[in-house]
Chains A and B, each alone.
Chain A
């Protein structure tokens, strides 16, 4: 019988490793995606995903019992990702890596540049250029579909802060897209 999220988290709090494995199987891909979009650097994503689930036995007792724990897990994962990427050198390296990857991806495939995906490539680059905090908010709200209240709860910050960061993230993305469009025009 399939166990619900609250049952699995209760089992994890009691030290049941089978529950930990089951919850990992259920949400590893989702958590991976959120972390990957927040952090960019694939080498660190594994560590953050590992740390996210590894911390569950410790923090499981504080779970609020909601039926689905995806938002809660995203919050834990993104907090770890932000903490993980706090070092300035790591942050710069991550941005450089991501910029290289995106540039290479966009530049090495002329057909792709010419296709209707060009905007998406520009957008991806602009997203990578956001600060980690703004990117995390944009990923959680606009890509993962959390509400501002859910993101605030997950990240343990005020909802007003979430909305402010989202506003600034959007402005920067719009500006980057407009800039790219102007540069592309002859």
Chain B
């Protein structure tokens, strides 16, 4: 039978947590020896703790931990907060229901909050979200600004690289990236765009579709997994970009879509198959296809054990395809997603090569700084060669 409660039983916890003074502690110790209610209560509570210690150890699967890590760093990079998006959608749905019920004033208030008449963010901010529909994460030294007026949002990029995540646009909304020599229009996507020396140097699309309009070229659509880079042209230093679709549309999309189709059947079974496909393309020297397939694989399986390899090999494949800028951006992505990557040095070399090629010697030297002090390293010299040549010419 359960003993009657004692009014001093609570002191058992206080004693355990050290909340009793020495006199009170001594007093309770004496009391518990003679109080059957307190003694029984302490025994019962200790039994619960002992049973708690016997619970099966809760350890997350290593792959799940890595999956969340990759998702966390990816979302933190672009300033996207999944929960916030979910609650935003929930609020939007609520607003729609209220609208149907005729609560016009409430809807107007909601719209007024989410779509201010005008908003501007200067390039000093490393990333944005706030009232904007696009979240911008800027690379080092990027010069950009973000503006929203009613339903039209602009991001003006004057120099450097930005990564942009745009939520799906509502009816009447437009989202434009304005570069010195053109513009990009998007409907809801994640992509990177870089400007160097006053001209667009590359556009890499992760998700969705963007429409690229560059001066002197006809407009073109870039889908997920494809990229556009400006060909280096010594004859045309006046920033007239030569259009070079980095991935021929069919060549680029086929492997991406193949990889996605396979993952929809069964992620676990197809993990290795998609990766093997990518490796085979790589070994065959079909580097464009290999890069796109590695990228699709990494995007579809962020927690895969070989995700780090896929992310790095995408950069290597792009480099071997002669797409130095795209390789540099892929390597930047790899370093952000896997800061402790075993291929940190190799990825940094790719970043440095791309940076020095577009004249960003400061970035090139910075990314190689951890290894520059270690003495003569031919790879580092090679990666900084363009910068060295430039400085000797000055």
Contact = CB atoms under 8 A, between A and B. Distances in A.
Interface string B64-91: 1101110111011100011100000000
Nearest to A145: B49
A77 to B, nearest CB: 12
A21 interface: yes
Is the interface on chain A under 10, 10 to 19, 20 to 34, or 35 or more residues?
35 or more
Contacts of B126: 15
B149 interface: no
Contacts of B58: 32-33, 36-37
Interface of B: 10, 13, 17, 19, 44-45, 48-49, 51-52, 54-56, 58-60, 64-65, 67-69, 71-73, 75-77, 81-83, 126-127, 336, 339-340
A142 B49 contact: yes
Contacts of A117: 54
Q: Which 5 A-B pairs have CB atoms at the shortest separation, nearest pair first?
A: A120-B54, A123-B51, A32-B60, A33-B58, A147-B17
Q: Secondary structure at chain B's binding surface: helix, strand, loop or mixed?
A: helix
Contact of B10 (A47, A53, A163): A163
A100 to B, nearest CB: 16
A46 B70 CA distance: 12
A113 to B, nearest CB: 14
Contact of A20 (B51, B72, B83): B72
Given A17-B76, A123-B55, A46 B10 contact: no
Interface string A21-53: 100110011001100110000000111011101
A77 B245 CA distance: 46
A49 B55 contact: no
A57 B58 CA distance: 27
B306 to A, nearest CB: 19
B127 to A, nearest CB: 8
Contacts of B71: 50
A46 B44 contact: no
Nearest to B48: A173
